[in-house]
Structure 1
Amino acid sequence: MSVIGIDLGAQSTKVGVARNKGIDILTNEVSNRSTPSLVGFGPKSRYLGEAAKTQEVSNLKNTVGSLKRLIGRTASDPDVLAEQEYNTVAFCDVEGQAGVEVSYLGKKEKFSATQLVAMYLNKIKHTASHEIKLGVSDVVISVPAWFTDVQRRAMLDAADIAGLKALRLINDTTAIALGYGITKLDLPGPEEKPRRVAFVDIGASNYTVSIVEFRKGELNVKATAWDRHFGGRNFDKALTEHFADEFKEKFKIDIRTNPKAWARTLAAAEKLKKVLSANAQAPLSIESLMDDIDVRAMVKREEMQDMVKPLLDRISVPLEQALAEAKLKVEDIDHIEMVGGCTRVPVIKETVANFFGKPLSFTLNQDEAIARGCTFSCAILSPVFRVRDFAVHDIVNYPIEFTWEQSPEIPDEDTSLTVFNKGNVLPSTKILTFYRRQPFDLEARYVKPEALPGKVNPWIGRFSVKGVQAQENNEFMICKLKARLNLHGILNVESGYYVEDVEVEEPIEEPKEGDKKDSDAMDTDAANGDGEKKTRKVKKQVRKGELPISSGTGALEEVTKNAWGEKENAMIMEDKLVADTDEKKNELEAYIYELRDKVETTYAEFSSEEEKEKLRAKLTDSEDWLYEEGEDTTKAIYVSKMEEIRFIAGPIIQRYMDKIEAERQAALQAQQEAVAKKRAEQEAKRKAEEDAKKPAEAAKPEGADAEMKDAPAAEGEVADKE
């Protein structure tokens, strides 16, 4: 069994595996340690990961990015509409979720964001399985800290469709903190002042800050703040906007009207940004960008900083918010760990360092820290590995309340209660008590809708409590409901039961000898005259039975999930058939070229001119067919074409193989004969030596044996044994 951690990023994904007493980051089919988070669709198959990136510019309208920023959202959400800036594909509504409309297998198809993420996770699963030579099932997946209940449920649904069992959805910065803390052997003890670390994570599209306290064997997240629209891609866009204006003025082309030109400039701007992180200035050059015009430009680091000035003004906001929520000051922070590709930008490092007034730490791998933390979390939760005990205490980022209808019999009853406050430890369980005579419903929702990302519905779920009825004497049934925010950060009312108040007698604890005072010296007999201990009557609630609960949440309905799962399996088979067909096509093409060469060289002496001519003609016909009618056909036809060539070439190849086999047998026989000859020579030599010793023994005088019996054998002689 494998232990896998997945850092599902907006731009790229990293996968970690626990092995060799450590964490390895896996490479994909082109040996890259990160895989583009893209899904593309074509006339014959899908393109996932690296394949999608390769054809992205030529297939913009059918290639989807921003996968984790779409999942769990609606098509009308402002955040989804904002993602249209970074995607040329058409967004639409699918089963109430954000989705895309693409051209797939020659027709228009709609796929929800959950399906798209499932497709991508399936690709990641197969890449990991191929790399580690094991099946992949149990995983831990990272999600942004600002993900809501419905987004987290959608991620679990996507994992289910992909055939993965998500042991935990872990917040990005929490995963980073786990990877940081679990390897530290110098953390303070339980009674000492905790080590406080600020983790600043700036990726492609998201900026998150977490303040975390570390003690030996545990971490406690104190506060998390974020800017959901700040990341490397915003820098890329600012540069691209600048180049669009420059190219329009200098080269008289408007890349804003040409999606392909815009995409190529955006990609070039991303590379330029990375070069400027290490150099004072950098060139940009794109050949035949638009209307056959080559473009060139030079940008200085200071110029880029001026372009992104509005972005830089936002850097301190999450830092201040996180400190305020943690009730800490700048001087209380011991270390500032920088993570994420965008933290390499010098002006960002400078701004964060100035805010805290102390040097920054870069002890973690900026690109792979989240994947490593996810893998550690999976190893902790999996029974396969033994890992150092390390407790992870995350926090609730959005307060949650339950609401219900007021009971007619309790006119002054409250109808809402905030059960999980912001900052509460996660996972967490709360017991709710209700007094009812009939079944009732309650709803869970977020208290502050304005704090949620975009326009996410604050409604979380509806829970119907069954089996409630009046007790004897028309008394209320005392109903207890167990509400839990689990490891994933998902809310459920897990169980319900009812209790009764029962009077029970419990013994009164006797005071210990040392606790007695002199004034109580006469009360030394703590028992009654008959020796029984004193007791008192108390009321206790005793569990009497279960209350069934039916739930309605933002998770996919089982029917829909099964349908999407079947659709995914069908697309996997379609992709496999296309891949197998391409393999057979390439095999046929390679076989034609190989035979054409060998018929003139290797096989020349094993075929007549007539056979050669017939084979040459067949190879030429097959090649012409391959590049005309055979350009796009079925796997079976490629196989049959290969068999036709083999039918003609078979006798020639067989003769060649017969000669090779005869030569092999002759060489083997010669080798055997040589071995037999050597053995015979050795045997003859041994026999000759034995014959030479016999006359010497016969010439010994009588009594020589008796005289030398007790003497030690001289060197080179053999002593006789009695």
Structure 2
Amino acid sequence: MMSSSVVGFDVGSVTSYIGAAKGGGVEIIANEVSDRCTPSCVAFNGASRFLGSAAEQQMVTNIANTVTSFSRLIGKMGNDPIVKIEREFAFYQIVCGCDGRAAIQVQINGNSVVLLPEQVLAMHLHKLAEIAEANLGTKIVDVVLSAPSYFTDRERRALLDASRIAGLNCMRIVSETTAIGIAYGLTKKDLPSVDQPPRNVAFVSLGNSSLQIAVISFNAGKMKVVSAACDPCLGGRDFDMCIFNHVAKEIEEKYNLKVLHNKKASLRLLKSCERLKKVMSTNSTKIPINVECLMDDTDISSSMNREFFESLCVPLLVRIKATMEKALAQSNLKPGELHSVELVGGGTRIPAVKKLVKDVFGMDGSTTLNADEAVARGCALQAAICSPAFKVREFSIVDACPYSISLHWKPTDELLESVNDDGAGELAKGTTTEVFKHLANFPSSKQLKFYRKGDFTLTACYSNPESLHIANPSIGTFKITNVVPTPPDSLCQVRIKARVNSNGIFTISNAVIMDRVEKEVDVPAEDSKAETTASAVTAQTKMDAVSEASVVNEPPKPPAAAVAPTTDTGAEQLPAKQKKVVLRPRDIPVEATTSHLSHEQLLEFTDFQAKLNQHDKIERERLHLKNALEAYVYEMRDKLETCLLQHTTVAERDSFKELLNETEDWIYGEGEDAKKSVISNRLDTLKQTGDRFCIRFSEFESRPLAIRALSNACENIQRVVESYSSGDSNYDHLCKEDMTKVENALRAKQQYLQTFLETVGKLQPTSDPSVFSADLYNAKNELDRICNPIISRPKPAPPPPPPAAASTENCGTKNEETNKGHVDDTTPNSSAKSATDLPNDCKEPKAPAAGEDMDVD
């Protein structure tokens, strides 16, 4: 069962967003610096690791050990074309790691360490979980992760591995365009009903490094991805590079500076070009660009307007237009059949991109969704759908496979044409078959049948390798084992179920052998035996699996009425027994070999991650203690010249100042990398002296108030004792024993106060106090505890007054006469007379007659 708090992580190449279902909606969680987006950045400096905003601050000063865009490398091999492109953008070193995987080389504590992108992503996911936990106040375990829609099986499995290393349970991997569709569909209450034509919406997402476009149809309570197209290597950073390359060439001609040969200068100039692009998106005039001390203490300046910028980006705009047209063509829809086009991602703010949207789709792009947070919101809603702790209205989600998938196997000598097939599932012939077509719906399953005499292996791969952004189209191999036919040396039917699950991952979910066995079954009477047997065999061969119990345990049909046995030849006969061949399923194991990290690798990386997390915790505590030591030095140095001046001698001040100065020099020198225990000892040493001075000052300030508090309490109780002794009526209800206890307690505290005053009178401002204000407050509290319950005891209530006399003399006399003349209650005349003779004001009120209303106050 999932935890009560579930979150969605949108991990982009530059920034990440955290969405949480909360308070009937979705909240985007801010990080420790109150920023709603957290940089996707991990930095290593010495033995320390920095994540998020702290890592981003080191990008310029620690450029070689600051890793960004690691999500672009996850699940990739070192020879993939997309990795070659990433090397052009990365300022850190990308190498080939274990098994030929793309990896990242950094320096940790002076040692060269090679990390897989899965490990770096796990560090970032752990940071996002910490941010969510700090905001939600609960442990985060269950998450939903976003993935670009073009991610292959290998990359999606790598996401699951990264979440396992981070100690998280990834409940679902959602394509980014699908997450955007969820954020759109679940918030729209005006969608057409199921029996009406769907609302078709195109979503254009241009992020920092990729372009993704999808057409999704919506009805009330469901959505279906109709088409999807993408360009994995086209994003906002490519527009930045257009400006960067132009300005770098201009700088080389104008200032004779080769910016491309200096990583730090290139990073600073690239940041300035990104800001220039954003400003040109809202201004058509010429915009200046200035960078101080870019290289060799040289300040550079340039300028650019939007028209010239768009001329530089013509090749990029052509690729964007082609991707839009591809998505529209795959949907088999005309522009007029689209309801709207939603723009998502920072790159869609470029005016030239907006113009392309209108040219291709025939309408202006809508911005009803938050361009930066839409994916995170969709992931959070998907997390709420998966969680039993949230009640979300029913919403069906059908995604589309971005690539077609095929199965391959080695040819066999069996003649499948001679097999008497039962027609259930697809008969696998030849050596290959396409299991899932391009844009096929998922999650979905497909059943295939093989006739084999022994074990065999299936290889899954993508049907069109040229459509991939990676070099290896293989998905994995699946060995079907324990294939033992019954009877031996015969062909047995093996049914395998191929599935693309809700994470977009292909697998052979199970395999069964359909054994043919003979069983005795009951059959009807002779006149209908042939017809019934034929229909039973036909139905049996069309079933996926028939259990033994379903045939044997079925009782014979009883006759319509009980008839006595007879020897008549036309009487009904008992059912007969007959042998029949039935199919009985038998599960067999499937050994899968995929791109997942091995169990040993996961344990190794998880252990490494735990050690880094523990080191980060100790380092945070060390830095916190170091900051506390530094703050104490500055605080005490200031107090020695102000409030502690009259409470310390000249010799004490000089000695303590020298110790403070020595500690300050140590902090910025040898103490820079000192251990936590050493810093703690330094702080304790300072406090042994500094706190003693502070106690002198605090006692000097608080002592008069404490003396006054105890003195006032004694005076108040003394007045009560004197009033009691003088016979004051307010205290005459108090007993003598209790007042004796009050007098004794008062006398003891007065004596204690007198002793305290005598001791304090001998103290100098520079002397350490031997008695403390807290003792006075304790004495006051003890006095109040003993005396207050006695002196505040209320007087007892006065006795009740005697009962009042009769209201009138006549009434009393008449009652007396009536009592004398009373004979018996059962005598109606006498009782009636007594009631009649009473005056009106002395008569008892009559009960109301039946049906008469009573007045109720």
Q: TM-score w.r.t. structure 1 length? A: 0.88
- Answer yes or no: is 1:190 the counterpart of 2:194: yes
| 1:257 corresponds to which of 261, 267, 287 | 261
The whole-number CA distance in structure 1 between the counterparts of 2:574 and 2:339 is 57
Q: 1:470 to 1:615 in 2, by over 3 A?
A: same
* 1:44 and 1:578 in contact (8 A); partners too: no
> 2:763: which partner in 1?
none
| 1:376 corresponds to which of 351, 369, 381 | 381
Q: Which amino acid aligns with 2:107?
A: S
User: Which gives a bigger RCO, structure 1 or 2 (Cα 8 Å, sep 6+)?
Assistant: 1
How much identity, in percent, do the aligned residues show?
A: 35
Residue correspondence of structure 1 range 649-664 to structure 2 within 5 A: 649-660=690-701, 662-663=703-704
Q: Which amino acid aligns with 1:57?
A: V
- Answer yes or no: is 1:562 the counterpart of 2:577: no
* 1:18 and 1:24 in contact (8 A); partners too: yes
Q: Which amino acid aligns with 2:375?
A: I
1:472 is paired with a residue whose SS is coil
- Answer yes or no: is 1:427 the counterpart of 2:443: yes
Q: Which moved more, 1:494-503 or 1:611-620?
A: 494-503
> 2:673: which partner in 1?
632
* 2:200 and 2:338 in contact (8 A); partners too: yes
2:414 is paired with a residue whose SS is coil
The whole-number CA distance in structure 2 between the counterparts of 1:250 and 1:535 is 104
The whole-number CA distance in structure 2 between the counterparts of 1:675 and 1:400 is 93
**1:53-111 CA deviation, whole Å, 9 max, x = no partner?**
11101112112222111011111212111111211211111112101111111111111
> 2:252: which partner in 1?
248
* 1:501 and 1:539 in contact (8 A); partners too: no
Deviation at 1:502, TM superposition (A): 6.4
> 2:514: which partner in 1?
499
> 2:282: which partner in 1?
278
- Answer yes or no: is 1:393 the counterpart of 2:398: yes
> 1:716: which partner in 2?
none
The whole-number CA distance in structure 2 between the counterparts of 1:538 and 1:378 is 54
- Answer yes or no: is 1:462 the counterpart of 2:477: yes
> 1:452: which partner in 2?
468
> 1:606: which partner in 2?
647
> 1:118: which partner in 2?
122
Q: 1:500 to 1:370 in 2, by over 3 A?
A: same
Residue correspondence of structure 1 range 687-702 to structure 2 within 5 A: none
* 2:416 and 2:451 in contact (8 A); partners too: no
The whole-number CA distance in structure 2 between the counterparts of 1:676 and 1:278 is 79
- Answer yes or no: is 1:206 the counterpart of 2:215: no
The whole-number CA distance in structure 2 between the counterparts of 1:538 and 1:343 is 71
Give ranges in structure 2 of 5+ residues lacking alignment.
Answer: 418-428, 524-531, 537-558, 562-569, 733-794, 811-840, 842-857
> 1:484: which partner in 2?
499
* 2:342 and 2:365 in contact (8 A); partners too: yes
> 1:715: which partner in 2?
none
- Answer yes or no: is 1:224 the counterpart of 2:221: no
Deviation at 1:422, TM superposition (A): 1.2
* 1:499 and 1:541 in contact (8 A); partners too: no
* 1:100 and 1:111 in contact (8 A); partners too: yes
> 1:520: which partner in 2?
none
* 2:517 and 2:584 in contact (8 A); partners too: no
The whole-number CA distance in structure 2 between the counterparts of 1:400 and 1:277 is 41
The whole-number CA distance in structure 2 between the counterparts of 1:265 and 1:540 is 78
Deviation at 1:466, TM superposition (A): 1.7
> 1:152: which partner in 2?
156
Deviation at 1:359, TM superposition (A): 2.5
- Answer yes or no: is 1:54 the counterpart of 2:57: yes
| 1:365 corresponds to which of 337, 355, 370 | 370
The whole-number CA distance in structure 2 between the counterparts of 1:460 and 1:366 is 33
> 2:299: which partner in 1?
294
> 1:573: which partner in 2?
614
Root mean square deviation of aligned Cα:
3.3
The whole-number CA distance in structure 1 between the counterparts of 2:271 and 2:256 is 21
Deviation at 1:374, TM superposition (A): 0.4
Q: TM-score w.r.t. structure 2 length? A: 0.75
Q: 1:624 to 1:471 in 2, by over 3 A?
A: same
- Answer yes or no: is 1:313 the counterpart of 2:318: yes
Deviation at 1:124, TM superposition (A): 1.3
* 1:97 and 1:113 in contact (8 A); partners too: no
The whole-number CA distance in structure 1 between the counterparts of 2:492 and 2:446 is 19
* 2:325 and 2:360 in contact (8 A); partners too: no
> 2:659: which partner in 1?
618
> 2:828: which partner in 1?
none
Q: Which amino acid aligns with 1:561?
A: L
Q: Which moved more, 1:409-418 or 1:85-94?
A: 409-418
> 2:42: which partner in 1?
39
Q: Which amino acid aligns with 1:120?
A: H
1:315 is paired with a residue whose SS is helix
**1:351-399 CA deviation, whole Å, 9 max, x = no partner?**
1112111222110000000000000001101111111110110011111
- Answer yes or no: is 1:647 the counterpart of 2:688: yes
The whole-number CA distance in structure 2 between the counterparts of 1:168 and 1:430 is 21
| 1:266 corresponds to which of 251, 266, 270 | 270
> 2:95: which partner in 1?
92
2:372 is paired with a residue whose SS is coil
> 1:514: which partner in 2?
none
2:78 is paired with a residue whose SS is coil
The whole-number CA distance in structure 1 between the counterparts of 2:710 and 2:294 is 69
Q: Which moved more, 1:210-219 or 1:498-507?
A: 498-507
Q: Which amino acid aligns with 1:434?
A: F
The whole-number CA distance in structure 1 between the counterparts of 2:21 and 2:716 is 52
Q: Which amino acid aligns with 2:302?
A: A
* 2:460 and 2:474 in contact (8 A); partners too: yes
Tell me the matched-pair count: 684
1:434 is paired with a residue whose SS is strand
1:136 is paired with a residue whose SS is coil
Residue correspondence of structure 1 range 329-368 to structure 2 within 5 A: 329-368=334-373
The whole-number CA distance in structure 1 between the counterparts of 2:458 and 2:612 is 41
The whole-number CA distance in structure 2 between the counterparts of 1:576 and 1:344 is 40
> 2:748: which partner in 1?
none
> 1:83: which partner in 2?
86
* 1:401 and 1:446 in contact (8 A); partners too: yes
Deviation at 1:118, TM superposition (A): 1.1
* 2:515 and 2:584 in contact (8 A); partners too: yes
The whole-number CA distance in structure 2 between the counterparts of 1:585 and 1:125 is 27
Give ranges in structure 1 of 5+ residues lacking alignment.
Answer: 510-524, 711-722
Q: Which amino acid aligns with 2:295?
A: M
* 2:357 and 2:363 in contact (8 A); partners too: no
> 1:8: which partner in 2?
11
The whole-number CA distance in structure 2 between the counterparts of 1:237 and 1:7 is 25
Which of the two has higher C-alpha Rg? Answer: 2
Q: Which amino acid aligns with 1:638?
A: I
**1:575-607 CA deviation, whole Å, 9 max, x = no partner?**
222222222221111100001111222223332
**1:511-567 CA deviation, whole Å, 9 max, x = no partner?**
xxxxxxxxxxxxxx999x878999999989644321011111110001011101111
Q: Which amino acid aligns with 1:578?
A: E
**1:99-129 CA deviation, whole Å, 9 max, x = no partner?**
1111111111111111111111111111221
* 1:315 and 1:352 in contact (8 A); partners too: no
* 2:82 and 2:233 in contact (8 A); partners too: no
2:666 is paired with a residue whose SS is helix
Q: 1:532 to 1:411 in 2, by over 3 A?
A: closer
